[in-house]
Amino acid sequence: MIPSTGVIIPSAGKGSRMDSELPKQMLQVGSMTILAYTITRLLQIESVRYLVIPVSADLAEPVAEIADGCLRIAKKTKKVNLKLTAGGRERMHSVGSGLLELAETDAELVMVHDAVRPCFPLMAVNEALETANAKGAAILAVPARDTVKLVNDSRRITATPDRSRVWLAQTPQVFRTKILIDAFEKAKNDGFVATDDASMAEYAGYPVHVVEGSHDNIKVTYPSDLFFVENWLKQDK
């Protein structure tokens, strides 16, 4: 049985590459915002008991309205507690703010998920939860489809890694709560800036396992991604 789980959804980003005045998570796709679709899907996971959303001050009110609406609609047999907290300058600082909230709860697992990934596979997420509960940490990832090149500052290729060993990290990323708190504290104290949560755990010396996700689980970044998400959500009904 998967223990009580807290979800952190960093939502303080602006998404400059989307060419929109609105942050990506607040863009409308069909009848709801991307954030609403993401939250609604996360609430389908049975073990979720806490929802923490680090957010910038200017978005706090609309994000609270979106999250409250999702919680009212969701058919959960147990209560899910919602908390908004201040987002940080870097993603990892937003996660740290969320961890402070979860440290005061009974959440044994913490799941960090991008606000703009609404197309994640639920079965894989449950497998990641089970793996993290048993082994400490697990993330969704997919095998690289293309040959990967490492380049230097002048864009000259310096290496070609074995593609069979290259996986592309996604979210959700799941950890025992104590592990991620410890990893965040070490990263913060050492001045290590992580681009994802698994990097913090790796830096702190914790093993992180991979669960195969889906290439459909895209992070909305460009305007064309909105069309993909809209069609995917229609098919997922």
pLDDT in tens, 56-72: 999 999 999 999 999 98
How many angstroms separate the CA atoms of 99 and 52, rounded?
Answer: 9
- Residue 184 CA to chain centroid, in angstroms? 16
pLDDT in tens, 116-144: 999 999 999 999 999 999 999 999 999 99
Query: 10 Å Cβ neighbour count for 213?
Result: 24
How many angstroms separate the CA atoms of 237 and 235, rounded?
Answer: 6
Token representation of residue 53: 């959303």
Q: Residue 28 — pLDDT band, cuts 50, 70, 90?
A: very high
How many angstroms separate the CA atoms of 41 and 37, rounded?
Answer: 6
Is residue 67 within 8 A of residue 51, CB to CB? The reply is yes
H-helix or E-strand containing 233? helix 223-235
The region of weakest confidence among 4-8, 14-18, 26-30, 94-98 is 14-18
Is residue 102 within 8 A of residue 48, CB to CB? The reply is no
What residues contact 57, with CB distance under 8 A and at least 6 apart? 86
How many angstroms separate the CA atoms of 99 and 107, rounded?
Answer: 10
pLDDT at 15 over 60: no
Please, what are the domains in the chain? 5-118+174-205+218-235 (3.90.550.10)
pTM, two decimal places = 0.94
